């Protein structure tokens, strides 16, 4: 029996959530048909949508997503063609479509993708307002990822939390009974683990998720910022210098090769017993539970340490969805976006992702996936610590371009690897950023 009352999923607690997760394809189709009857967006007859999304890291998440796609297609007699690309290939392909006005109707992309070409994005405010009403409202970070000048240019579907994945035994052997919550303690842990032959490692290559995530954290934790609230470039600063020195100290104790890592290298190394601490989504743990249970038993997760001012600021891998304003089927795209985030399928989708997808809509804090396994719980709170790539400023085309160009990542990598000295690394980043924000 399918759930016809969208709000009942939120009000009914774990029992109804479990029922939603157990819905068969036929029951989900029944729900989709009932939803379509009352939805404010009516798909265009015979619509054929081309959608691009990032390749999955958790197979069950992809399976759950395709079930949602299938149910929506059948319920509305439309076609949604989904293509998948690696993280680093999504933005270039999305940009080509934006520049040519063809090829794609919508993209489920990374970080601040809609802000690269806001004039090409459909106004999604009606969808955002509907989802807020149904799901307890948006978190501040969700609004920051979706709105430009009061208008929603994209919908932040979810995020992958970039949190610390570590081996408990290696941490304890390094002299820490609990995971350190301050910068000095974290540096001491990394150094001691390396000394014990159980090294840490975080990407300094062009890893869209991993490298951008932890290196922006390191910059912010020391009081550094790329731009101020008025978009003035302030990267060349004493605070940035402190961050560079701190990261170099970590890098010198990393497993070799991190300067060329992409988003998959650390996963593989961790599961191969070559790496004992990294920053990643929960996908390492999900894979370990399946293929390396002894590693999974010895793993845990934590937020990155607080900054010098005692506040935790993290850059997680947000996944916004955008609809191009040149699509022939805007109502179909809006309807599908809203349908994706309805409780009856978003709750089981989160559960299928096993913590890899965290939410920006407040009601989903109640999903049992976050407490069924205490090792999942830190990922529930991703939205609370998330900042956008703009840092102190509001999201903009410039901030989106800076993260797409790896400005912050390259600054740290150039200094840590010795390609540039400290002053030169900051000056290079400053010049690159000023070209973007001229």
Going residue by residue through the chain, which has 438 residues, state the pLDDT in tens, using 9 for 90 and above: 223 333 333 333 333 334 444 578 889 999 999 999 999 999 999 999 999 999 888 888 999 999 999 999 999 999 999 999 988 899 999 999 999 999 999 999 988 899 999 999 999 999 999 999 999 999 999 999 999 999 999 999 999 899 999 999 999 999 999 999 999 999 999 999 999 999 999 999 999 889 999 999 999 999 999 999 999 999 999 999 999 999 999 999 999 999 999 989 999 999 999 999 999 999 999 999 999 999 999 999 999 999 999 999 999 988 999 999 999 999 999 999 999 999 998 999 999 999 989 999 999 999 999 999 999 999 999 998 999 999 999 999 999 999 999 999 999 999 999 999 999 999 999 999 999 999
Tell me what pLDDT residue 58 has.
Answer: 85
Tell me what pLDDT residue 111 has.
Answer: 81
Strand 147-148, strand 151-152: pairing: antiparallel
**pTM score over 0.85:** yes
Tell me what pLDDT residue 22 has.
Answer: 54
Tell me what pLDDT residue 23 has.
Answer: 73
């Amino acid at each position: 029996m399918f759930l016809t009352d969208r709000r009942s999923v939120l009000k009914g607690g774990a029992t109804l959530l479990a029922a939603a997760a157990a819905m068969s394809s036929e029951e989900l189709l029944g729900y989709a048909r009932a939803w379509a009857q009352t939805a404010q967006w009516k798909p265009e007859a015979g619509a054929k949508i081309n959608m691009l999304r990032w390749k999955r890291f958790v197979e069950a998440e992809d399976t759950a997503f395709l079930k949602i796609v299938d149910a929506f297609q059948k319920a509305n007699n439309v076609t949604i063609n989904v293509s998948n690309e690696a993280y680093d290939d999504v933005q270039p392909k999305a940009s080509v479509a934006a520049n040519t006005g063809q090829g794609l109707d919508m993209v489920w992309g990374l970080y601040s993708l809609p802000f690269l070409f806001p004039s090409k994005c459909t106004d999604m405010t009606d969808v955002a307002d509907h989802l807020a009403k149904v799901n307890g409202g948006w978190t501040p970070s969700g609004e920051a990822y979706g709105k430009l000048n009061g208008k929603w240019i994209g919908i932040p579907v979810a995020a992958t939390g970039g949190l610390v994945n570590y081996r408990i035994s290696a941490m304890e052997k390094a002299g820490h009974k609990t995971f350190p919550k301050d910068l000095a303690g974290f540096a001491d842990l990394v150094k001691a683990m390396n000394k014990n032959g159980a090294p840490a490692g975080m990407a300094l290559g062009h890893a869209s998720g991993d490298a951008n995530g932890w290196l922006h954290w390191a910059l912010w934790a020391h009081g550094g910022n790329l731009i101020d609230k008025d978009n003035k470039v302030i990267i060349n600063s004493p605070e940035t210098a402190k961050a560079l020195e701190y990261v170099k100290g970590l890098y010198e104790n990393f497993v070799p090769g991190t300067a060329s890592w992409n988003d998959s290298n650390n996963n593989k190394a961790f599961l191969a017993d070559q790496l004992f601490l990294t920053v990643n989504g929960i996908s390492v743990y999900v894979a370990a539970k399946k293929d390396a249970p002894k590693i999974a038993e010895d793993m845990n997760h934590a937020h990155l340490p607080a900054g010098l001012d005692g506040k935790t600021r993290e850059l997680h891998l947000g996944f916004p969805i955008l609809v191009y304003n040149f699509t022939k089927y805007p109502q179909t795209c809006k309807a599908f976006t809203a349908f994706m985030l309805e409780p009856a399928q978003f709750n089981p989708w989160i559960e299928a992702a096993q913590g890899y997808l965290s939410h920006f809509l407040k009601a989903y804090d109640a999903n049992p996936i976050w407490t069924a396994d205490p090792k999942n719980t830190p990922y529930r709170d991703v939205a609370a610590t998330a900042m956008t790539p703009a840092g102190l400023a509001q999201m903009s085309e410039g901030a989106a371009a800076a993260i797409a160009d790896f400005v912050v990542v390259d600054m740290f990598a150039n200094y840590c690897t010795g390609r540039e000295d400290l002053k030169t690394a900051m000056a290079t980043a400053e010049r690159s950023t000023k070209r973007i924000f001229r």
